[in-house]
Chain A
Amino acid sequence: MLTLECPYCGVKAEETELAAGGEAHLKRFGPGSSDADFDGYMFMRKNPKGVHFERWRHVYGCGKWFLAARDTATLEVFGTYPAQTSEPPAELQAKIKAKRPTWEGYK
C-alpha cells in the first residue's frame, strides 16, 4: 500500500486517505496561447515509466494539495514537498539522481 507523508501536517498517510491529482509542475497556457501550447498543457502527459512528479491531496486529513516524487515502475517514493513551488527542490532531485543514475533529470 502506497504511503506518502503530508508535508503540511506531517501525517504518514496511506493511499485511501489521499487522492491522486496527476502530473505536477504543468505550465499553464490559457486564452491567447497557441493551440499546440494549450493542447500540450491540457491533454499531453509525460506519463514516464520511472521517476514521476505528481500532485496529491490529503483529502481525509488536512485537505491540502502537495507534491510527490515517485517511481511508477517500482512504486518507490522519493519524497514529498509543498505545492507552492515551480520545480522540485534541488536536494530531492539530487537524492533521486543518486538512486537512479540513468535518470535524465527533471524537465
Chain B
Amino acid sequence: MTQSRPAKRYSVFALAREAMSYHMNWPEAWRSPAPKPRYDVVIVGAGGHGLATAYYLGKNYGITNVAVIEKGWLGGGNTGRNTTIIRSNYLQDPSAAIYEKARSLFEDLSQDLNYNVMFSPRGLLMLAQTHHEVRGYRRTVYANNLQGVSTEWIEPAKVKELVPIINLNGPRYPVLGALYQARGGTARHDAVAWGYARACSAMGMDIIQQTEVTGISTEGGKVTGISTTRGDIACGKLGLVVAGHSSVVADMAGFRLPIESLALQALVSEPIKPCMDVVVMANTVHGYMSQSDKGEMVIGGGTDGFNNYTQRGSFHHVEETVRALIETFPMISRLKMLRQWGGIVDMTGDRSPILSKTPVDGIFVNCGWGTGGFKAIPGSGWAMAELMATGASPLTEEFSMYRFREGKFIDESVAAGVAH
C-alpha cells in the first residue's frame, strides 16, 4: 500500500508559513509533465471518475506508474458542469451499493485527500407530487432500509419545516410528501477533481492535459497503447472514463457501447441571502434546486431528446424547468439568472452506469453515468480501480456492458427520473 502524501501538506501551519511570503510561493498543486513512452495503466479522461480511479489504483493497490490523459483541462467536462448533488437513495441493490459507497467515502474525503472538497451533508428531499410518486418513494424507503441506506418518508408538514420557502399547495401538483435522505447533500465539484489530481500527482502519477487521444492500438485482441496529439504512449491496461465521448473512444478500439450522448443543462441565479439549506428535487415537474455557499440558487433540469456533442442545450428545457420551479418556490420568481451551461451526458437504456471489461483484453470502460455521475465519483473510482487491478469487483459485477444482452437491467428510471 502506497501512502505517500503531497510534499507540502495543507494545514493551518502551512497557511501561516506561506503568509510570511504574502502567499506568493505556494507550490503547484499538481505537476504538468510531458508524457513518458510507457505506463502500466493509462486512464483516458481527467474528470472526477478518471482521477478517482487513478487515486484508488495507487492508494489501494500500489499501482502508481499511471498516466491520466485529458483532451481539455482537468475537471472541465461534466465534473465542472453538474449541480454537485450527492445522494444514494436508489432503488436497486447494485445501485445502492455503489452510490452508498461513494456517499460514505465523501464523508472523510477532505481528510483523505488533504484537500477541502466542502462536502455538505445538508439533507436532500425528493418531492412526491402525484400518488404514483408517493407509492414509488415509499417503496424506495423500504428498499433503502433493507440495503442499509438511511432514508425516510416524510409528510408535507415536515417538508414545509425543512423548506420554508416551498409552496405545498401548487395548483396542479401539490406536495404530498417527500423521500428524505438526511445524509445527502452537496460538495464543491471542482475541488473533488482538484483534490484527487493533487493526491495522484503526489503519488508520482502523470496528469497530462491538453492531449487528445486519437487512436487505440491493439495486438491479438489485447491493448498495447494509445496514440495522442503528443505522440504514442504504450500501456499495460487502459481505462476509458470519458463520459459523453465514450462512444467516440470505444469506436477507436473497435467496439460499440449501448450509449447515446445528449445535452443536459444547468443554470445558477444571482446570489441571494440564505433561504434554503437542503437540496430539493421535484421529479414530476422536472427541476431541482439547491443554494450554493455563495448564495446562488443552483438549478438543473432535463436533457434534450436528440444526440448532441455541442455542450449547448435547447432553451425550451430551461424554460420548462424554471416555470416548474417558480410554481414550487414562488419567491424565486424575480431572480435573475447569471449563467447557463450544458454538458454532454452518456445515457444508457436502463439509466445505470457501465463499469466493465470490454471485448478488447486490457481495456476497461467506466461510463454511462448519464445525468447523475458526480455523486458517484469516489465509489466509481474505488470500484473501477479494483476492477482494473484485480480483474473483478463486487461493486461492478452487475454493471457489465453485457447486462443488456443478458436481460439483467438495473432499472433506475425512477431514481434517475429527473436529471441531476
Q: Which residues of A contact B (CB under 8 A)?
A: 1-2, 15-16, 19-20, 22-23, 35-36, 38-40, 42-49, 52, 54, 70, 72-75
The one of B247, B257, B305, B308 that contacts A75, using a Cβ cutoff of 8 Å:
B308
Given contacts A45-B247, A45-B256, A54-B306, 6 further A-B contacts (CB under 8 A): A15-B314, A22-B260, A23-B307, A44-B256, A47-B259, A48-B251
B residues near A70, Cβ cutoff 8 Å = 306
Interface of A is mostly: mixed
The one of A1, A42, A52 that contacts B404, using a Cβ cutoff of 8 Å:
A42
B residues near A44, Cβ cutoff 8 Å = 256-258
A72 touches B308 (CB 8 A): yes
Interface assignment of B135: CB less than 8 Å from any CB of chain A: no
B315 touches A1 (CB 8 A): yes
Interface assignment of B294: CB less than 8 Å from any CB of chain A: no
A residues near B8, Cβ cutoff 8 Å = none
A16 touches B316 (CB 8 A): yes
B residues near A52, Cβ cutoff 8 Å = 307
Taking the closest CB of chain B, its distance from the CB of A20, in whole angstroms, is: 4
Give complex CA distance A18, B147 in Å.
41
A residues near B314, Cβ cutoff 8 Å = 1-2, 15
A19 touches B305 (CB 8 A): yes
Interface assignment of B245: CB less than 8 Å from any CB of chain A: yes
B405 touches A35 (CB 8 A): yes
Q: Could you show 24 A-B contacts with beta carbons less than 8 Å apart? A: A1-B315, A2-B306, A2-B314, A16-B316, A19-B305, A20-B304, A23-B260, A23-B307, A39-B404, A42-B404, A43-B258, A45-B247, A45-B256, A45-B258, A45-B259, A47-B248, A48-B248, A48-B251, A49-B247, A49-B248, A72-B309, A72-B310, A73-B309, A75-B312
B310 touches A45 (CB 8 A): no
Q: Which residue in chain B gives the minimum CB-CB distance to A52? A: B307
In B270-324, the 8 Å CB interface with A consists of 304-310, 312, 314-316
A43 touches B260 (CB 8 A): no
A residues near B245, Cβ cutoff 8 Å = 49
Interface assignment of B76: CB less than 8 Å from any CB of chain A: no
B residues near A35, Cβ cutoff 8 Å = 405
Interface assignment of B156: CB less than 8 Å from any CB of chain A: no
A47 touches B307 (CB 8 A): yes
Using known A-B contacts A1-B315, A43-B258, determine if residue A72 contacts B307 with beta carbons closer than 8 Å: yes
A residues near B307, Cβ cutoff 8 Å = 20, 22-23, 47, 52, 54, 72
Interface assignment of B174: CB less than 8 Å from any CB of chain A: no
B305 touches A20 (CB 8 A): yes
A43 touches B261 (CB 8 A): no
The one of B260, B305, B306 that contacts A45, using a Cβ cutoff of 8 Å:
B260
Interface assignment of B215: CB less than 8 Å from any CB of chain A: no
Give complex CA distance A72, B247 in Å.
13
Q: Which residue in chain B gives the minimum CB-CB distance to A16? A: B316
Q: Which residue in chain A gives the minimum CB-CB distance to B258? A: A43
Give complex CA distance A52, B306 in Å.
10
Interface assignment of B123: CB less than 8 Å from any CB of chain A: no
Give complex CA distance A48, B312 in Å.
17
The one of B257, B258, B261 that contacts A72, using a Cβ cutoff of 8 Å:
B261
A48 touches B247 (CB 8 A): yes
Interface assignment of B6: CB less than 8 Å from any CB of chain A: no
Closest 8 CB pairs of A and B: A47-B247, A20-B305, A43-B258, A20-B306, A39-B405, A44-B256, A43-B404, A49-B309
A residues near B257, Cβ cutoff 8 Å = 44-45, 47
Taking the closest CB of chain B, its distance from the CB of A37, in whole angstroms, is: 10
